[in-house]
Structure 1
Amino acid sequence: MTYQEVIDYLFHQFPQYQKIGGKAFKPGLDNVRKLCSYLEDPQNELKFIHVAGTNGKGSVCSMLASIFKEAGYKVGLFTSPHLVDFSERIRINGEAISQYEIIQFVEKHKAHFDQSGASFFEWSLALALHHFKEGKVDVVVLETGLGGRLDATNIVTPILSVITSIGIDHTQYLGNTLREIAHEKAGIIKEKTPVVTTITNPVEAVEVVNKKADEQQAPIHLAPADDHYTCDLLGAYQRVNKGVVLKSLEVLIQSGVSVKEECIVNGLKKVAKNAGLRGRWEILKDSPKVIADIGHNYDGVKELMTQLRLEKCKQLRIVWGMVADKEIDRIVELLPIDAKYYLSSPQIQRALKQEELCPHFQGIFDYEYFPTILQAYENALKDSGSDDLIFVGGSTFVVAEIISDFF
């Protein structure tokens, strides 16, 4: 099989939740335990930092991986979804798993996986764990997919659990209240394993996380935001994520992990390079200035719009698309009225189509709808002067289509 044939097979045989939604979502640990047992339980030979949360997971994971690389560790990194290519999800010291390794793994195990009933995410995790075991990594930074308690990644026993934030997202799977969502995220807390979190509100979320930590006799550490260290991830919201990373390192260093100060400084300055992270307040172009960010739920968009208002420009132009299962009305209320909107739908089944998206903008915003995200972006560029600003966002998949085709 060629690499493209393998990828086509994976997407067809094991549909992605990110692409189609609930039909691909299989909560519970039975399937992934069976997959890992078949692969001789690679997770039992690895050390993990397990990261859950509504926002900030990817950034925190990538910062940690970058710092560990600078400190001389061989570090595995598992994140999702990918922006351009599947291989981005699985990295060792920033290097994505090779196409050859993916092909070999699929060809060897295809018959078993066809009969497994596994989801795309479960299959991806099994591949990642196998890759990290074969690569003899020192530590794995592992991002949850959805939630935590029933997420496939929760088969691991970590040396540290991290919960970045609690907010409303994926309500049909995690619950409609912050208390219910906090219960799912707190499900990664393990017995006597330290927990780092930045959660100080809402009160009900704090109560749930603290109760779970008490039940597990897991020491919990609150991470304040950081304004001291420089990071190449430019979003103002990264000060919170930096705080989580620094507190995590403090806890790990106290347990005997060796990370020097200079490695922290250098690691935070090289996150994009060392971990391959993109799409977080990423400047894609200078004239006109183009900024892209994958923030897509209410809390994430609120942070983005706060920062966007600080940008000076003659005309703000926003390329925007969304997927279903978000708080559309609340999110649209956050968007600046004085911007010109270039609306479209990413090329996935979960995308909000024209008839679902445009009514939320009608009569309030100056907007136009385009058949594709790329056409929306091209028209925004065509209309822009050098002093204008183009923001690309609303969904991971909107940003992915721009990065994939232009950058």
Structure 2
Amino acid sequence: MSNLPNTLPEWLALIESRHAETVINMGLERVRAVKERMGLQFKCPVIMVAGTNGKGSTCAMLESILLQGGYRVGLYIKPHFLHFNERARLNGDMASDEQLVEAFNFVERARGDISLTYFEFTTLAIMHLMSQAPLDVVILEVGLGGRLDAVNVIDADVSIVTSVDIDHVDYLGGTREQIGFEKAGIFRTGKAAICSDPVPPQALIDHAVEIGADLWLMGRDFNYAGDKQQWNYGGRSQRRNSLAYPGLRGANQLLNACAALAALEALKMELPVGAQEVRTGLVMVELPGRFQVLPGRPTVIYDVAHNPHAAAALAQNVGNMGYSPYTFAVFGSMHDKDIDGVIKAMAPCVDHWCLTNLPSPRAATASELAAKVQSIEPKMGEKTANIFDDPGQAFANAMSRAGENDRIVVFGSFLTVAGVMAAKKSSLH
């Protein structure tokens, strides 16, 4: 055990190399066993957030509001763009390499001969780090599904499911009912179980009722109303009036904000938050890669939309931006996504496709993406579709062709957005 890595990059390389063949390994027995050995538990309220889309935004809003309220907040959020440390936030700041190395060492000693995937290992490490920090509240984002996700070895005080749509079909099933059941797996008996999807699957409702969770449904237990200037939240016993729109742009952000405010209403005795903290927290919230519009010209937008539901929201948001002569799309995707559905949703607002390979064995090739674009839009006319080796090259090509009134939408897999972010960063040095 003495020859454990000393640095974070060495640790990450080691954990990645151990489980090269199984990226995802469903089932919680191993994680639960290691959690018991670690004595992992939280002394403060825990909010857990699952959902097909919107979970990162909901987590970020909760963090922002609670920090404004003066609370010490831990946030576990995934995946990261440039630094692994982005996944573990303590009081709004990324955890240090030293803190993470110490947590990795702790998990390594506790696991003994139990094998853990990269995701399971890092999840336990970050949760351990947060359990040892002086925090008032911990927010945990679920990675995939809910029922069998490593985060779910913790019993949350409040669980949120933001939206239920088709994604990760190989693991979660191909219908909203199957996926709704998987996501409802984070609900707990007697605890608040919030669903902000306006049309929740019956399987999610049935599961909540069956286990005796305290189910909060959008439109029944909480809702919103608004005009161009401001909006109001109405919950079971709490109203929040004249709120500013969230700092995160986009059509679905009020649903995510409602989920956050419902969670705070459910915890109002433990974590009271005033009206001004809510207003400021919503305005100040930031989350990279969620309809993130960069300053400057041409307009550049980052969005990690990688399923049809998210792509439809992105297309709507782009449409609401007003006229641009041309829209360029830098797009890369994982193979197991509904790529046709994503391209169909975005095709009406894209003039020029810059399709890219991604550094992952799970990624679709740029040539495969180009073939799909051409089959969906057989009459391309003036439109173009070009292929590139990496996101940086695809973005550079779009920048070289775009006029200052045009726009470039970088979307798809996290790796697409991360690749462009990294390329832009290195070009500045």
Give the TM-score, by structure 1 length.
0.91
The reply to whether residue 2 of structure 1 matches residue 4 of structure 2 is no
What is residue 346 of structure 1 aligned with on the other side? 358
How do 1:191-230 residues align onto structure 2 when only pairs under 5 Å count? 191-201=189-199, 205=201, 207-223=202-218, 224-225=223-224, 227=226, 228=231, 229-230=244-245
Deviations 1:263-299 (A, max 9, x none): 1111112222xxxx31111122421110110111110
Change (3 A) 1:225 1:374: farther
Q: State the one-letter code of the partner of 1:61.
A: C
Deviations 1:25-77 (A, max 9, x none): 11121111122122222x25342111111110111011101111111111110
What is residue 27 of structure 1 aligned with on the other side? 26
What is residue 234 of structure 2 aligned with on the other side? none
What is residue 155 of structure 1 aligned with on the other side? 153
What is residue 339 of structure 2 aligned with on the other side? 328
Change (3 A) 1:189 1:107: closer
Q: Which is further off, 229-238 or 282-291?
A: 229-238
How do 1:78-93 residues align onto structure 2 when only pairs under 5 Å count? 78-93=76-91
Q: Which is further off, 101-110 or 392-401?
A: 101-110
Match of residue 262, structure 1, among 271, 276, 288: 276
SS at match of 1:385: coil
CA offset at residue 166 of structure 1? Answer: 0.6
What is residue 233 of structure 1 aligned with on the other side? 248
CA offset at residue 303 of structure 1? Answer: 0.6
Task: Supply the distance in 2 between the matched residues of 1:136 and 1:226 (Cα, whole angstroms).
Answer: 37
Task: Supply the distance in 2 between the matched residues of 1:350 and 1:183 (Cα, whole angstroms).
Answer: 26
Q: Which is further off, 243-252 or 369-378?
A: 243-252
Match of residue 405, structure 2, among 354, 369, 387: 387
The reply to whether residue 291 of structure 1 matches residue 296 of structure 2 is no
* Contact 1:197 1:244 (8 Å CA) reproduced: yes
Percent of aligned pairs with the same amino acid: 31
What is residue 181 of structure 1 aligned with on the other side? 179
The reply to whether residue 248 of structure 1 matches residue 263 of structure 2 is yes
What is residue 97 of structure 2 aligned with on the other side? 99
Deviations 1:368-398 (A, max 9, x none): 1111110000010011111111110011110
* Contact 1:70 1:263 (8 Å CA) reproduced: yes
SS at match of 1:240: helix
Deviations 1:89-138 (A, max 9, x none): 11111111111122233345546557321111111111112111211211
Deviations 1:216-270 (A, max 9, x none): 22222223356423222122321221121122222222x4431111111111122
Change (3 A) 1:7 1:195: same
Task: Supply the distance in 2 between the matched residues of 1:364 and 1:257 (Cα, whole angstroms).
Answer: 57
Give aligned pairs, total: 392
What is residue 388 of structure 2 aligned with on the other side? 370
What is residue 120 of structure 1 aligned with on the other side? 118
Task: Supply the distance in 2 between the matched residues of 1:106 and 1:179 (Cα, whole angstroms).
Answer: 37
Q: State the one-letter code of the partner of 1:326.
A: K
What is residue 308 of structure 1 aligned with on the other side? 318
SS at match of 2:123: helix
SS at match of 1:278: coil
Give the TM-score, by structure 2 length.
0.87
What is residue 361 of structure 1 aligned with on the other side? 373
SS at match of 2:408: strand
The reply to whether residue 66 of structure 1 matches residue 64 of structure 2 is yes
CA offset at residue 11 of structure 1? Answer: 2.3
Q: Which is further off, 347-356 or 185-194?
A: 347-356
Match of residue 48, structure 1, among 46, 49, 60: 46
Change (3 A) 1:221 1:112: closer
* Contact 1:285 1:291 (8 Å CA) reproduced: no
Gaps of 5+ in 2: 1-5, 232-243
Deviations 1:185-230 (A, max 9, x none): 111111011111122326xx1x212211211222222233564232
